[in-house]
Chains A and B, each alone.
Chain A
Amino acid sequence: MKNDLSKVRNIGISAHIDSGKTTLTERILFYTNRIHAIHDVKGKDGVGAVMDSMELEKERGITIASAATFCEWKDNEINIIDTPGHVDFTIEVERSLRVLDGAILVLCSVSGVQSQSITVDNQMKRYNVPCIAFINKCDRSGANPYRVITQLKEKLGHNPLALQIPVGLEDKHNGVIDLLTMKALYFDGKNGENIIEEDIPKELLDEATSKREELIETASLFSDELTEAILEEAEITPGLIIEAVRRGTIQRKLTPVLMGSAYKNKGVQPLLDAVSRYLPAPYDIQNDALDMDNNEKPVVLKSDSNEKTVALAFKLEDGHYGQLTYIRVYQGAIKKGDTVINTKNGRKVKIGRVVRMHAAEMEDIEMVPAGYIGALFGIECASGDTFTDPSINLSMLSMFVPAPVISLAVKPKDNKSQINMSKALSRFTKEDPTFKTHIDPETNETIIEGMGELHLEVYVERMFREYKAEVETGKPRVAYRETITQRAEYDYVHKKQTGGSGQYAKVMGFIEPIEDEHFIFENKVTGGRIPTNYIPACEKGFTLCMNKGPKMEYPVTGVKVTLTDGAFHAVDSSDMAFQTAARGAFIEAYLKAKPVIHEPIMKVEIETPTEFQGNCMGLINQRRGMILGSQDEGVMCRIEAQVPLSEMFGFSTILRSNTQGKAQFTMEFCMYKQVPQMVAEALIKAAQDEKKK
């Protein structure tokens, strides 16, 4: 480890599923001598790409858990997090972006900016991650990097800046022209490892010259030196352009665009050059932590190994070597033998083995300095926890974690599976904050909850593969909620006199619907009609009612409770009596307040060839979906819709069969909405039938 921060890059590779990011990572590792052979993602050769270390990922050809790895390129140390592309796993993408300083946005030169790229881009914006774009698959039929550049501008609002132009496209794609040096680069050798620099072919010279002019003009906005050089007609060196582009990129005002074909080993080495040239070093980015002793006041962290340690655990993995905790050190250093504090629970943690990960392999190191990513052994924590020096109490900003929208009952097949399942669930819930589990007190079933059908499916398969836990699954259940639609009053007396000390409490007031809030309690009692020491008990009583609605026993949301009056008894009133009275009052008012059921609505985007547009819209219509619109994109079109999650089960199969497999879709949680009367009645009936059983 060199510990020269200016040469450290913590980057992620984000993209739409199947844009080729795992292939690209594989090539990067090959050219940086981390691996010595190249394997396909889908594992045709039985080995599979190095970054897809989970068996399941190799089988499905998708990246699920982001493996962290590091490599060196021309003196630069690059830490790479390979992020999953499927929308069901976006918490992984978000967590990765939180710890990264920059990213490569991989785009397909045929499909261009797809729906997932937009989601990933939004996440990058949220965490202010500067990025460079790599237009991949230039060798594919229909490749058009210029169209993708336009889409980067129009759809994602970037300011794309092409640093290269392709030498030939589709099956004639031979290399790229570097607009900085005005040289054509070809990639020779079995794996494209020999870069051959030649003069630009005559037929491309004019285009290259005009694109270089565009490049210099755009870059000059970020550098006075470059502007001066242009005005004085002095020589414009690559160094001047690089500095200007770097400034623009770090400010997120420019997105340098490179191109090639990772699969055909073209254009990857210049991309690595671009990573070290344009993406920020750890100290270029401001990272804040919250001071827990000072009302969560933000504190700016310094990328200095001599300062007090602040590190974030961003990923947990249970692998062959035991539990592994991936950390990013923001300030100070994590050293072998050190003691740090886990801010969340105040527990002291002794650092044992410190390693640097290379996908599924690792190397032991003495410490992880500020700005670096590493992994620790034998640390008991959850992902998202902060480790600090014992003398400070800082927490990294909490990450936004959406609530689960779908659940599934899982039943182990035998006793051995039962034990293994518990182990697996305990691990998964620590690894992934969007994956939750609990035991249903009524049915005694284990329920797992997550962000989508595929999300849960993958965990069920992982239970089997990694923990040998065979489980049977029930039908996926949607996380319905209840709410009220009108104001209703309550006037409730709880009175009990059955020997011993009695119970007495009276509460009066009203409940009303609210939007955009879960629960509000307002106390308007005056004149001591209910002594103030009983008010928290009233609030607790009402809050407890929110867990299980009186209508369908779903969690209640969007209710404001106002307590206006009441009465107490000097001897018989107690906290318990007021809590019970509040519960009774809530049930009394709730049923008068026209309760309704809400269901999760997903934002669904379908990309389809235009000839299937009508079919796809029809499919959405059949699923109680609401089509927001359709966007024409040449031969393809994109349909945006909102569809109830309960109607989306098995949609991928149906979509494929209706579009000859040519359409694809993504979905993510959008909002909760009232279910139509007919559906509500069916839900009530189904619940009643189940109770009878």
Chain B
Amino acid sequence: MNENTLKLDNPLSQLGFETDSLITPGQMGAICARAGIGKTSFLVQIGLYAMARGQKVLHISLDEPVTKINIWYREMFNLMAPKNGITMINQAWDTIISNRLIMTLKLDGFSVPRLEERLADLIEQDIFKPDTLVVDGFPFEKCDRCLLKDLKILVEKMGMNVWFTVNTHRHEPPDQDGYPVQLTGMSDLFNTVIQLISEKKIVDLQILKGQVDSEKAASLFIDTDTMLISA
């Protein structure tokens, strides 16, 4: 934890999980939705809330350039700030920006040993020691359980938690356990699974796994004008 923190009201704390971050070190979480529903903006908000708590966030993208991801963060923060009573937005942004590093990797070159090597490089040289990884664009359809298992071992070893986006398709019904088919045979590796469902211009959050107290949980949705998670 470092001193670069900011007070942001995190709606995810109302979801009835053990922690505001929904997962703890060594755990994996997944955000599932069809294309265009708002997975990346959700992931970015998870990243921003973690950054505000003073956690170091490493955003790994497998398809978007650094500049574009940076814009995502900045735009979401600009929308969040006024709702949290922040007037000097640039100053507030400067407080937390050093808590984030973006890394874009080539899809074909992605492997756990390679990631481990990069992480070791960052940590050993005291450049950046991530607490949270957010991975956007991970190819679940092409990956096998082994790769994900190795990744889980890595994050457990390094004491990080990791979030993924999972791209689902309209025509594919969920598997027998109720998870998107992309997670079939792998859902046990995830501690939290959240699905974003779009119906009649509203995007609702459906918790598939990880909730401790569903009775006390508030129902959250995504404001489609701003893409902000709202209660």
List residues of chain B with CB within 8 A of the CB of A640: 66-67
Whether the Cβ atoms of A629 and B125 lie closer than 8 Å is: no
Q: How far is the CB of B129 from chain A (nearest CB, A)?
A: 12
CB-CB nearest in chain A for B70: A628
CB-CB nearest in chain B for A634: B106
A632 at the interface (CB under 8 A from B): yes
Q: How far is the CB of B67 from chain A (nearest CB, A)?
A: 7
Whether the Cβ atoms of B102 and A629 lie closer than 8 Å is: yes
Q: CA A614 – CA B65 in complex, angstroms?
A: 19
List residues of chain B with CB within 8 A of the CB of A617: 121-122, 125, 127
Total count of chain A residues near the partner, CB < 8 A: 24
B90 at the interface (CB under 8 A from A): yes
B196 at the interface (CB under 8 A from A): no
A203 at the interface (CB under 8 A from B): no
B6 at the interface (CB under 8 A from A): no
Whether the Cβ atoms of A626 and B97 lie closer than 8 Å is: yes
Q: How far is the CB of A667 from chain B (nearest CB, A)?
A: 15
Whether the Cβ atoms of A618 and B125 lie closer than 8 Å is: yes
B193 at the interface (CB under 8 A from A): no
Whether the Cβ atoms of B66 and A628 lie closer than 8 Å is: yes
Q: CA A466 – CA B128 in complex, angstroms?
A: 49
Whether the Cβ atoms of A614 and B121 lie closer than 8 Å is: yes
List residues of chain A with CB within 8 A of the CB of B94: 673-674
List residues of chain A with CB within 8 A of the CB of B125: 614, 617-618, 621
Whether the Cβ atoms of B101 and A627 lie closer than 8 Å is: yes
Whether the Cβ atoms of A515 and B127 lie closer than 8 Å is: no
Whether the Cβ atoms of A631 and B70 lie closer than 8 Å is: no
A265 at the interface (CB under 8 A from B): no
User: Knowing A513-B88, A515-B88, A618-B127 touch, does A631 contact B66 (C-beta < 8 A)?
Assistant: yes
B187 at the interface (CB under 8 A from A): no
**Selected contact of A621 from candidates B65, B97, B127, CB within 8 Å:** B127
B158 at the interface (CB under 8 A from A): no
Q: How far is the CB of B88 from chain A (nearest CB, A)?
A: 6
Q: CA A638 – CA B125 in complex, angstroms?
A: 18
Residues B49-75 near A (CB distance < 8 A): 59, 65-67, 69-70
Chain B 85-98: CB-based contact to A (< 8 A → 1; otherwise 0):
00011110010011
CB-CB nearest in chain B for A626: B98
B8 at the interface (CB under 8 A from A): no
User: Knowing A515-B89, A614-B121 touch, does A632 contact B105 (C-beta < 8 A)?
Assistant: yes
Q: What's the dominant secondary structure at chain A's contact region?
A: strand
Chain B 111-139: CB-based contact to A (< 8 A → 1; otherwise 0):
00000001001101111100000000000
Residues A601-640 near B (CB distance < 8 A): 613-614, 617-618, 621, 626-634, 638, 640
A155 at the interface (CB under 8 A from B): yes
B104 at the interface (CB under 8 A from A): yes
Q: How far is the CB of A632 from chain B (nearest CB, A)?
A: 5
CB-CB nearest in chain B for A672: B90
Whether the Cβ atoms of A632 and B106 lie closer than 8 Å is: yes
Q: CA A107 – CA B118 in complex, angstroms?
A: 29
Q: How far is the CB of B56 from chain A (nearest CB, A)?
A: 12
Q: CA A633 – CA B94 in complex, angstroms?
A: 28
B109 at the interface (CB under 8 A from A): yes
CB-CB nearest in chain A for B66: A629
B103 at the interface (CB under 8 A from A): yes
List residues of chain B with CB within 8 A of the CB of A627: 101, 127-128
User: Knowing A614-B125, A617-B125 touch, does A631 contact B90 (C-beta < 8 A)?
Assistant: no
Q: How far is the CB of A471 from chain B (nearest CB, A)?
A: 38
List residues of chain A with CB within 8 A of the CB of B91: 485, 515, 674
List residues of chain A with CB within 8 A of the CB of B67: 640
User: Knowing A515-B89, A515-B90 touch, does A630 contact B97 (C-beta < 8 A)?
Assistant: no
Q: CA A618 – CA B67 in complex, angstroms?
A: 21
User: Knowing A515-B88, A613-B121, A614-B125 touch, does A630 contact B66 (C-beta < 8 A)?
Assistant: yes
Q: CA A617 – CA B66 in complex, angstroms?
A: 15
Q: CA A631 – CA B64 in complex, angstroms?
A: 9
Q: CA A632 – CA B124 in complex, angstroms?
A: 20
Interface core residue of A516, A617, A632 (most chain B CB under 10 Å): A632
Whether the Cβ atoms of B65 and A631 lie closer than 8 Å is: yes
Q: How far is the CB of B128 from chain A (nearest CB, A)?
A: 7
Whether the Cβ atoms of B104 and A629 lie closer than 8 Å is: yes
CB-CB nearest in chain B for A515: B90
Q: CA A513 – CA B204 in complex, angstroms?
A: 40
19 sample A-B contacts, Cβ–Cβ < 8 Å, listed by A number = A154-B65, A485-B91, A515-B88, A515-B91, A613-B118, A617-B125, A617-B127, A618-B125, A626-B98, A627-B101, A627-B127, A628-B101, A628-B102, A629-B101, A631-B65, A631-B66, A632-B104, A632-B105, A640-B67
Which B residues fall within an 8 A CB radius of A?
59, 65-67, 69-70, 88-91, 94, 97-98, 101-106, 109, 118, 121-122, 124-128
Q: Beyond A628-B102, A632-B105, A673-B94, list 11 extra A-B contacts (CB 8 Å).
A: A513-B88, A614-B125, A626-B98, A629-B70, A629-B104, A630-B66, A630-B101, A631-B66, A631-B104, A632-B106, A634-B106
6 A-B pairs closest in CB distance: A629-B102, A629-B66, A614-B121, A631-B104, A632-B105, A618-B125
